[in-house]
Amino acid sequence: MNSKYGPVRYGSLSIGLHWIMLLLLVAVYASMELREFFQKGSDIREGMKTFHYITGMSVFALVIVRLAARAFGRPAPQIVPEPSSWEQFLAKAMHVALYVLMIGMPVLGWLMLSAAGKPIPFALPPLIAASKDTAHLLKEIHEVGGNIGYALIGLHTAAALFHHYVLHDNTLRRMLPAAAV
């Protein structure tokens, strides 16, 4: 659907990828948080770790598709009314940070598994040689990145809700599936 400003919503591919990525990110975080309820070395805990690795690498694969869709798809629909220049800058910075998260965290996980000498999902090759010290360092960085991810995802969600319920602009509606608009 178009208006005098151009498209009023993102395309179906962008919308679908956005919400699938959300579900994957929920699964990534849930699998790591919930594993704590199970005894170390138990089958269910190990299964949750494996699920975390698989969903994390799935995020990496889909973020590449998202970037291609952004690069070759139609431009983003305008926000009406148009935000100020500082709001636009913050929005762009947030999106860059989220993309760094969605690329950086799986790559860190891949490096960490490589350094730990563990199998990598989808039979991907190790990126570096096995090293306990390197694996430990990468694990620490990965955990800090995960905590930063909580903040970024929370801020992104809060901003979308603020735009929708306080500013009453079309920011959130641009990304909702057609049935929800």
Return the domain boundaries, the chain: 6-180
At 180 the pLDDT is 67
pLDDT at 119 (0 to 100)? 95
The phi, psi pair for 7, rounded to 5°, reads: -60, 145
From first to last of its 181 residues, what are the pLDDT tens digits of the chain?
Answer: 555 555 789 999 999 999 999 999 999 999 999 999 999 999 999 999 999 999 999 999 999 999 999 899 888 899 999 999 999 999 999 999 999 999 999 999 999 999 999 999 999 999 999 999 999 999 999 999 999 999 999 999 999 999 999 999 999 999 998 766 6
The token pair at 179 is: 């049935």
Distance between CA 60 and CA 109 in Å, rounded? 10
The predicted structure's pLDDT at residue 7:
75
What is the chain's Cα-based Rg?
A: 19
Q: Which residues pair with 2 in a beta bridge?
A: 7
pTM of the model: 0.90
> Which residue from 9, 30, 57, 5 is spatially nearest to 153, judged by alpha carbons?
30
- pLDDT at res. 8: 85
Instruction: Could you please state the CATH topology (level 3) that the domain comprising 6-180 is classified under.
Output: Fumarate Reductase Cytochrome B subunit (1.20.950)
97, 101, 107, 113: CA torsion to nearest 10 = 150
- 176's CB contacts (< 8 A; 6+ apart) are 9, 15
Q: Where are the alpha helices (DSSP H) in 7-84?
A: 12-34, 43-72
